[in-house]
Structure 1
Amino acid sequence: MEKVIINDVDFEVEEFEQRKSEDTQRMETAFIFSVVGKSNYNLYKGFFSEGKYQVTIPRLEQRFEATLSSNVTSYTDMLDEETKVTFSLTLSEINEGDEEELQNVFINIAQESIMQILRFRALMEVLEAKGIITSNEYDSKITEVNDRDFETVRNELVKGYSVVEE
């Protein structure tokens, strides 16, 4: 077991690994830890939605600031106070200059979002012109899918994917 301290909270973790990310060249720290119970699951799920973390790895005498780059939780059956929940996390070290890079990422996301909207509008116009779908059918389907999937997709984008084992 490895000890990792995140925002002054001690974690006894398994499968501890540090590696340099191939695409960003940032140091990544990956590990797994488990808790028992729905209350603890909710507590740590909230803890890992903060954004930036002060990380200390005593054995390696390391201290650095990081962001959460991957977060997967899993448990078997129904989530109750007896359920063992496993968190698998990857933290990416924040380097100097990352703030500017992050701004560029947001600009690129905004530009890509605009392009996707324009592509969907163009596709809708073609489908409508060919009589395949009406504007009302399209709007109705958007409302249906939004009502059904919005929260799930938002949570996946913001917090990472959760996996429930059957």
Structure 2
Amino acid sequence: FFFESPHFELTIVDTNEKLKMKNISHSTFYQAAEISDDTKIVFRIKLQQEPAKEKELTKDQKLMVNAVNEVVLSRVRFKALEEILEEKGLIKGDELFDKIEKVAKRDFDTLKKELL
């Protein structure tokens, strides 16, 4: 019944310990031209622990992950834009950061309210 039912009990002969097991995957193959009821076979089983399932995130955790991803993506976009402007010689040194500081003083609270 090993290949028919996923649940079985394994007894370790040396210790007489019984383990309840679940067959989550298996494969079979043979290398003889013919197998009959009288064919002698070697049966090997490799046991390994089932991989742990990832814990499902709560709604709040998903929102936090999405928010962090958006912040990172915004920083990547900003960095790319900054590099392009510098490479083309359109901005120099702290020119961009000076402008950011001015706009932040002027518009930060308004933009924050729009997002929240």
TM band (smaller chain): 0.3 to 0.5
Mark the structure with the bigger radius of gyration: 2
Higher strand share: 1
- The normalised TM-score by structure 1 is 0.34
Q: Which is bigger in relative contact order (C-alpha 8 A, separation at least 6)?
A: 1
